[in-house]
Structure 1
Amino acid sequence: MRPTEIRDLFDRELREHARPDGPGVRVERSGPLVRQVGGPDDWNGVVWSEPGLDAEGADAAIAAQIAHWDGLGHEAFEWKLYSHDGPADLGERLRAAGFAAEPSETLLVAPVESLTGLPGAHPPAGVELRAVTDAAGVELVALAHERAFGTDAGRLRHQVLTRLEQAPDDFVALVASADGEPVGSARMELYPGTAFAGLWGGGTVAEWRGRGVYRALVAYRARIAAERGYRYVQVDATDMSAPILRRLGFTALGTTTPYVYRLAR
């Protein structure tokens, strides 16, 4: 398939017909949009908008979403804008309505079969990769995330633990450890009935970067995706991880930018 065909498939399967990303959340159609709504510790936001959305429709939809989440009492929600979404000035309209743009990421996709046999796909000497299945493992994932990204992992801890306890079949969490200490972690969302699995949160602590931990985390998840019958893996990649993934054979389909609206309380 050509990149534009894969992008159209991605839009249709994972955005227009999105599935809830965890227990207790729901996906709703709201006029020309699809949104996910959950509790304050869940991801809340707009995931898709109709391709023919025009300026007038966009402004009305933006106002409706602000009113919706304000009525729920949430502190914030996100509009996940892709570079091919319309109208062309949708980002400017979101900013004018009070949204703040966070750093853009590159939407990357690769055929699963191209990743399962990557050279150097095994972890470096002294590092063990394992799937997380319990609360103790979740703590290691959260600690690795905090050390790799320098951000608080409180919400991540809640989301991973909830998924493993209530809906483990379509979710994978991994931790990489050296001498009992977490040096990297990663997650994978499996979307049944689609061609895609999503790679999320892959990160390595600074002193272990450049040794193949990240590559091993990608390959490990790709093997699981292949075993489950998925055709593609998808990543929203930061500027740090995108060059690595391109070298592994991922293709860019565009960019995605989180626009966050913080409600006054």
Structure 2
Amino acid sequence: MTSAEKYLRAYDEQLRTDAETPSAVSVTRLGPLRLVTFAGGRGFITYRDLGDADAGRMAELVADGLEHFRADPEISGVEWKTRGHDRAPGLREALVANGFEPDEPESIMIGPLDALCENAPVPSGVTLRRVASEGEVRAMSAMVDEAFGDSVDTRIADALVARLERGDGMELWVAETDGAMVCGGRLEPVPGTDFVGIWGGATLPAYRGRGIYRALTAARARSALDADKKLVHSDSTEDSRPILERSGLVKVSTTTPFNWTRR
């Protein structure tokens, strides 16, 4: 097996379980699906595999999964997480028919944590640190929304604050220059596995191309190594994928989120 094949097998076996959603408020099983409710009215649908489901069965699963969340008026949106290497006949068509809209595909990146720590100097004038106070978490969340070109979503900040209060292992990191946050991201240790996830990494457009994201990624990796983790995974945009590839991570598959929004 190649490294990519080994990493993909570890991904499917270790990460496509409840370990994928440590901040879930509730999880309901529907056949092979895990229907996950997060704080802030967010639904999420995932699974390890879909077995031998044909297109007809796929249409039933999509409709029934969505109906589960439709029945809860507190749910404002649902994400169905697809993976490019899954056998899923008719899934895309069923999702679109039920009002789900695809986002841009992202690369599933996996590799050794220690590789992220090499050749990642902190740029001059930049400070890296963890944040934990509510005010700082909300400021970081708003900055990341801005970096991604999204409207500020206070529900995401609410969920991050609640998770820090629960102490589930998540860490929030930022890079600052001249006292302002310009880059941020999460570190998500996966209990019972060799993995840690690096998520939500984003840099304000005016500060890209300076090595800030690379340095913040290395800081998160060093923190994970201190906790005896060995492997890192991340769903990466085309902005961050080349950076992670240069750091020794391998693209093992793709993931495309399909989103439904209550009208």
| TM-score normalised by structure 2 residue count | 0.91
- Percent identity between matched residues is 33
Where 1:68 maps in the other structure, the secondary structure is helix
* Displacement after TM superposition at 1:2 (Å): 2.9
Other-structure match for 1:97: 98
Residue aligning to 2:247: 248
Where does residue 159 of structure 1 map in the other structure?
159
Which residue of the partner structure matches residue 61 of structure 2?
A: 61
- 1:1-265 map, 5 Å: 2-22=3-23, 25-39=25-39, 41=40, 43-48=42-47, 49-73=49-73, 74-116=75-117, 118-119=118-119, 121-151=120-150, 152-167=152-167, 169-264=168-263
TM-superposed CA distance for 1:27, in Å, is 2.7
What is the Cα deviation at residue 51 of structure 1? 3.8
Cα distance change, pair 143–64 in 1 and its aligned pair in 2 (3 A): closer
Query: Structure 1 6/71 Cα, relative in aligned 2: closer, same or farther at 3 Å?
Result: same
Q: Is the 8 A contact 1:107 1:235 kept in 2?
A: yes
TM-score of the aligned structures, taking structure 1 as reference length: 0.90
Q: Which consecutive unaligned segments of at least 5 residues does structure 2 have?
A: none
3-state SS of 1:27 partner? strand
Please list every run of 5 or more consecutive structure 1 residues that lacks an aligned counterpart in the other structure.
none
Q: CA deviation at 1:19?
A: 5.0
Q: Is the 8 A contact 1:140 1:175 kept in 2?
A: no
Q: 2 CA distance for matches of 1:38 and 1:160?
A: 11
Contact kept? 1:54, 1:86, Cα under 8 Å: no
Q: Deviations over 1:204-248 (max 9, x none)?
A: 112221111100111111111111122211111112111222122
- Kindly tell me the number of residue pairs found equivalent between the two proteins: 259
How far does residue 65 in structure 1 lie from its aligned partner after superposition? Answer: 0.7
RMSD after superposition: 1.9
Which residue type is aligned with residue 98 of structure 2?
A
Instruction: Note the C-alpha offset of 1:43.
Output: 4.0
Contact 1:145 1:153 in 2 (8 A): no
* Inter-CA distance 65–204: structure 2 relative to 1 (3 Å threshold): same
